[in-house]
Structure 1
């Protein structure tokens, strides 16, 4: 395998600082990737993730990466094995997001110079993921927990600077509570992206969520 360029982990922090949203583009196709990327960008999104468990996901991911501006962080989600990480790296993507924590996946991601965001559900998993080299944590499934849990994590663990993204069940109605508890951003699917939308409707739909969270401050 040829040497691949290192992606600075600070790009993740920068993308979330611009807009605290990881847009999960389940159902994205190669044909719609450019239009969707532009629409989400116009709505303020700077971190986009395409789950690999959909038909044609890798080709859609490649097209998305080619179409969006350089300040957009593009990654693959639902990554389950090292072979997928290799494919994503060769395609020129930047982030590996998984629904779970596996030490070998974090190690392979970092060895290839990519940003690692594994899924965690317990403090033990969170500590183990960070020790393995994770750059951020996907709190998943967030709808199985609550903002109270995240607040407790922040209060008893040395995680002040760790990027934590509740994912699953986050909406414009509960995002503020997650934010107040210490969320760094939100993994959001249908709340920002629906594969049947076209044209201006893409930006309009995503904009309803980004307007709700874009002004959150601590």
Structure 2
């Protein structure tokens, strides 16, 4: 897929699970449980031990999953992730050099930003979508709606505070997609030997996205 197709897939699925785990084996197990629920987009964070190995394994064994790299803080790491199969790059903060590296490789880039100035700076630098993080620290969906009012052309993915209870509110505020953390990527459920709970939560998130979009067509 080219970058346009990658971004369209992100929008279509409407969810970007932020995968964090204590080991690469646990990360792979979480990825399998999430994908079983129909969510075939994953952000593999660089905080996972052996994160590059996880991306390589998933890229080779699960071509049905759109793999992105998360917590990418610099252009050098972005390049390594791209070479390991990452199809999009996500960061919790804004680094213009990282955006430039992704543009060089025609890879979708989703830098983190919070204030209006940071968001506009990232957009002008060539970001494809802005990760608003931590969204809950600024008031959640209400903050996102306030940002979209003067900047309707800027695509935003809120991360931080997205749950099954708040997902619809974030979508109504104008989210491009939702960055979902521990509410979906439930390490405790996996530790308890209950991956089916994660799979069911994934299905619930997809149902919320589908229901919201259908309501907009009415």
Shared fold (TM-score, shorter chain, > 0.5): yes
Match of 1:177 in 2: 169
Once residues 191 and 48 of structure 1 are traced to their aligned partners in structure 2, the CA distance between those partners, rounded to angstroms, is 14
* 8 Å contact from structure 1 (residues 50, 76) kept in 2: yes
Deviation at 1:28, TM superposition (A): 6.8
Match of 1:16 in 2: 11
- Using structure 1 for the length normalisation, give the TM-score: 0.86
Match of 1:105 in 2: 98
Select the residue among 138, 147, 155 that pairs with 2:141: 147
Once residues 34 and 203 of structure 1 are traced to their aligned partners in structure 2, the CA distance between those partners, rounded to angstroms, is 14
Question: 1:113-192 to 2 correspondence within 5 Å?
Answer: 113-145=106-138, 146-159=140-153, 162-192=154-184
Once residues 126 and 186 of structure 1 are traced to their aligned partners in structure 2, the CA distance between those partners, rounded to angstroms, is 17
Partner-residue secondary structure (3-state), 2:39:
coil
More helix by share: 2
Q: How many positions carry a matched residue from both structures?
A: 209
Deviation at 1:90, TM superposition (A): 1.3
Deviation at 1:157, TM superposition (A): 2.1
Deviating 4+ runs (over 6 angstroms): none
Partner-residue secondary structure (3-state), 2:122:
helix
* 8 Å contact from structure 1 (residues 33, 63) kept in 2: no
Select the residue among 37, 54, 58 that pairs with 1:64: 58
* 8 Å contact from structure 2 (residues 71, 90) kept in 1: yes
Match of 1:211 in 2: 207
Deviation at 1:32, TM superposition (A): 4.7
Structure 2's unaligned 5+ residue stretches are: none
Once residues 14 and 193 of structure 1 are traced to their aligned partners in structure 2, the CA distance between those partners, rounded to angstroms, is 20
Once residues 187 and 61 of structure 2 are traced to their aligned partners in structure 1, the CA distance between those partners, rounded to angstroms, is 17
Deviations 1:101-151 (A, max 9, x none): 111110011112211000010121111111111111101001112322222
